[in-house]
Amino acid sequence: MAEKPLISVEEAEKVIASLPLKVNTETVPLLAAQNRFLSRDIAAAFPMPEFDKSAMDGYAYISEDRSPAYQVSETIAAGTPPRFAVSPGHCAKIMTGAMLPAGADRVVRRECTSEKNGFMKITAEDKNRNIRWQGEDLQAGQLVLARGIRLQAAQIALLASLGLAEVPTARPPRVGIITTGSELAEPGTPLDPGRIYNSNYYSLAAQVNALGGEALAMGRVADNAAATVDAIASCLDRCDALILSGGVSAGDFDYVPAAIEQAGITLHFEKIAVQPGMPTVFGSQEEKIVFGLPGNPVSTFVIFEIFIKPLLLRWMGHFYQPLVLPAELTETYNRSHGGRTAFIPVRYQDGQAAMLSYHGSAHLHALSLANALLRVPAGQLSIPAGSTVDVRYL
């Protein structure tokens, strides 16, 4: 297998972005659509509010009518249409959300009135009209939610208010996750000498789930070339994308790049000039996507965040733009080698980026304290304290 050249972060992003992806759609019940992405635009079928309604408990009357008292012709509850039009000298007692009777153009709040023997008097000035007019929120036919938006609680409520019981959404991609390495043990089991717990599956599954994707546990594979090829081939039948963690570097037991190719997958790149995560592999087979990630846990997390997250979101019809913020670096950053673009865990707060005590791509504790990644361009060895830098919010 001829080794492919090292490519820049920008080149890798272009390769991934150029891969054609088909957004698969399905209509699901409203609550099942939570955290999914709309697959088509939604327009209002009717105006909102649907009719002129009272914004307060009070009395509906004619604003130009200066009668000293108003005969109460009826009480209008929410959900019950009015029976009478309002005429001079008359008013309707009305509840919040109830339909405004014909003729009325103002509601005086209950607190500004008194009622006795079927007559209402205005006892205090109420400067507000206290009416929600038909269509003041939305007009019939108006775009409500655009294709590609994530449906969260507010959007679910809006769709329900429009009477939609089902929603057209993008089907989340099924993302298989294989962790490789004979040294891995599962959390909850005893840890024998020389072994480590399998954190990468849980990290990747959590990242996939956070996007609204479907993470599938495809198991662990020992450091064995044939077993790795077999695992890749069998797992591709059950998922849309496959992520392998570990076994991608140049060690004696790093079989993943060759195994991916032997499984019939076309490799697009094998190394990125990025820190951490240089030995990242990306390939495809028709509509299937395969990534091979380094085994160090911070590398796995960062590569997913920078390269895999945008791809999965595009697969769900959402064109993701990371939140990149300017920040003042609180202390000087130095590194000894500057050949790669670096992404360093930092803590962003109030316009400042604070460096963490970070020991490299295996230091999960530092990552757990970070809420952003400092991007250090290739070729830059030092950034003085007080400099304005770009941080990518997590």
pLDDT digits (tens, 9 = 90+) for 4-54: 789 999 999 999 999 999 999 999 999 999 999 999 999 999 999 999 999
CB of 277 within 8 A of CB of 260?
Answer: no
Residue 225 is predicted with a pLDDT of 80
Among 172, 179, 175, 173, CA closest to 292: 179
- Give 252's pLDDT tier (boundaries 50, 70, 90): very low
CB of 206 within 8 A of CB of 302?
Answer: no
pTM (2 decimals)?
0.86
- Give 253's pLDDT tier (boundaries 50, 70, 90): very low
- Give 254's pLDDT tier (boundaries 50, 70, 90): low
Residue 27's identity, in one-letter code, is T
- Give 243's pLDDT tier (boundaries 50, 70, 90): very high
Residue 250 is predicted with a pLDDT of 52
Residue 110 is predicted with a pLDDT of 97
CB of 55 within 8 A of CB of 104?
Answer: no
pLDDT tens for 166-189 read: 999 999 999 999 998 888 888 999
Using CA atoms, how far residue 157 sits from 161, 260, 385, in Å, is 6, 45, 46
Domains of the chain, CATH where assigned: 9-24+172-315 (3.40.980.10), 26-47+136-170 (3.90.105.10), 53-132 (2.170.190.11), 324-393 (2.40.340.10)
Using CA atoms, how far residue 259 sits from 1, 247, 248, 340, in Å, is 10, 10, 10, 26
The H helix count followed by the E strand count for the chain is: 8, 28
CB of 135 within 8 A of CB of 48?
Answer: yes
- Give 3's pLDDT tier (boundaries 50, 70, 90): low
- Read off the tokens for 109: 């709040």
- Report whether the peptide linkage leading into residue 49 is cis, meaning its omega lies within 30 degrees of zero: yes
Q: What are phi and psi of 79, to 5 degrees?
A: 95, -5
Q: Identify the residue whose tokens are 């769900």.
A: 316
Q: How many residues does the chain have?
A: 394
What is the chain's Cα-based Rg? 30
Share of the chain above pLDDT 90, in %: 81
Q: Identify the residue whose tokens are 């990644």.
A: 373
CB of 149 within 8 A of CB of 31?
Answer: no
Among 112, 109, 99, CA closest to 54: 99
Residue 2 is predicted with a pLDDT of 56
